[in-house]
């Protein structure tokens, strides 16, 4: 692989506020797939904070397969997410899909998420690497290890140091699960890049009952963090309800992996 920066396999750690990313303790990111309303995100943030969580997630620009599906609240949602962050003290991560919104997303968010569909969007990768915020680079839905490493190298070659990789499943042969959660990617990507590697079992599997065993498995194989979708009322969720944990299920999972 033609790498100039991410080639020495040296472990990279960095801080987001007081959280050590890539350190000894796995970081837990949780929150809804999408910010749906001010009340929803604030109530969710408070409930998660009470149970225990390191960072709040919530999409405001949603990369939906159908153009008719809920596309996110946009800038209004970003403000609600920020308000939830200020109330609870939790740092926030949210996806940016277009270069034109990078400035505003980086003003509000603690971490800029590059979603699976944009892992190959090289102009976006170059632009995000110039922002003064850490970036989470999710694995493309059909990305090989090499392609994912090279996308991370795009960020690193433009000077970005604070990169989190996130395994979120690849398209497999079976449709029983939403995707095939590839946990082998965790030690491989750590070895190949030195970067912290998180696991998103929600998009990787798509079935909420499988979040607990596979979160345990992710941590057992050395993941530096988890990203989990949680909804106060999954049956009413505007996006990804079937894979979202209830608050009670999140508590059970959180207790199981932190005790
Ligand atoms: C998300 O985490 O909100 C998301 C859309 O995931 P992915 O890009 O992995 O599909
Ligand atoms: Mn989702």
Q: Closest Cα to atom 10, ligand 1: which residue?
A: 116
pLDDT of residue 259: 84
**Per-residue pLDDT, 105:** 98
Residue whose CB lies within 8 A of the most ligand 1 atoms, among 65, 109, 113, 116, for a mutation test: 116
**Whole-number pLDDT of residue 1:** 85
Buried b (16+ CB within 10 A) or exposed e, 200-228: bbbbbbbebebbbebbebbbeeebbbbbb
Domain ranges of the chain: 14-258
Ranges under pLDDT 50 in the chain: none
Model confidence, pTM: 0.98
Q: How far is CA 173 from CA 176, 177, 178, in A?
A: 9, 10, 11
pLDDT at 215: 98
The CA 141 to ligand 1 mean position distance, Å, reads 10
Beta bridge pairs of residue 114: 137
Residue ranges around ligand 1 (CB below 6 Å): 33, 59, 63, 95, 115-116, 138, 168, 203
For domain 14-258, the CATH class is alpha beta
Centroid of ligand 1 to alpha carbon of 65 (angstroms): 11
Q: Within a 10 A sphere around the Cβ of 8, how many other Cβ atoms?
A: 10
pLDDT tens digits, one per residue of 58-91: 999 999 999 999 999 999 999 999 999 999 999 9
Looking at residue 130, what is its pLDDT?
Answer: 96
Query: What does the pLDDT read at residue 10?
Result: 84
């Amino acid at each position: 692989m033609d790498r100039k920066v991410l080639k020495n396999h040296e472990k990279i750690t960095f801080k987001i506020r007081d959280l050590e990313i890539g350190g000894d303790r796995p970081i837990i990111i949780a929150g809804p797939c999408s910010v749906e309303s001010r009340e929803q995100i604030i109530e969710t943030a408070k409930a998660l904070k009470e149970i225990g969580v390191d960072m709040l997630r919530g999409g405001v620009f949603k990369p939906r397969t159908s153009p008719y599906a809920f596309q996110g609240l946009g800038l209004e949602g970003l403000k609600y997410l920020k308000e939830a962050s200020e109330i609870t003290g939790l740092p926030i991560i949210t996806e940016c899909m277009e270069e034109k919104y990078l400035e505003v997303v980086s003003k509000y968010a603690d971490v800029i998420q590059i979603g699976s569909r944009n892992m190959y969007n090289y102009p976006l990768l170059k632009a995000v690497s110039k922002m003064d915020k850490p970036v989470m680079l999710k694995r493309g839905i059909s990305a090989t290890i090499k392609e994912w490493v090279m996308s991370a190298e795009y960020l690193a070659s433009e000077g970005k140091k604070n990169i989190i990789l996130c395994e979120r499943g690849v398209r497999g042969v079976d449709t029983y699960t939403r995707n095939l959660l590839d946990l082998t990617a965790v030690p491989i990507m750590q070895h190949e890049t030195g970067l912290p590697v998180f696991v998103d079992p929600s998009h990787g599997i798509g079935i909420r009952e499988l979040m607990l065993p596979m979160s345990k498995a992710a941590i057992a194989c050395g993941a530096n963090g988890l990203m989990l979708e949680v909804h106060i009322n999954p049956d009413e969720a505007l996006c990804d309800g079937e894979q979202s944990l209830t608050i009670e299920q999140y508590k059970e999972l959180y207790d199981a992996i932190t005790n």
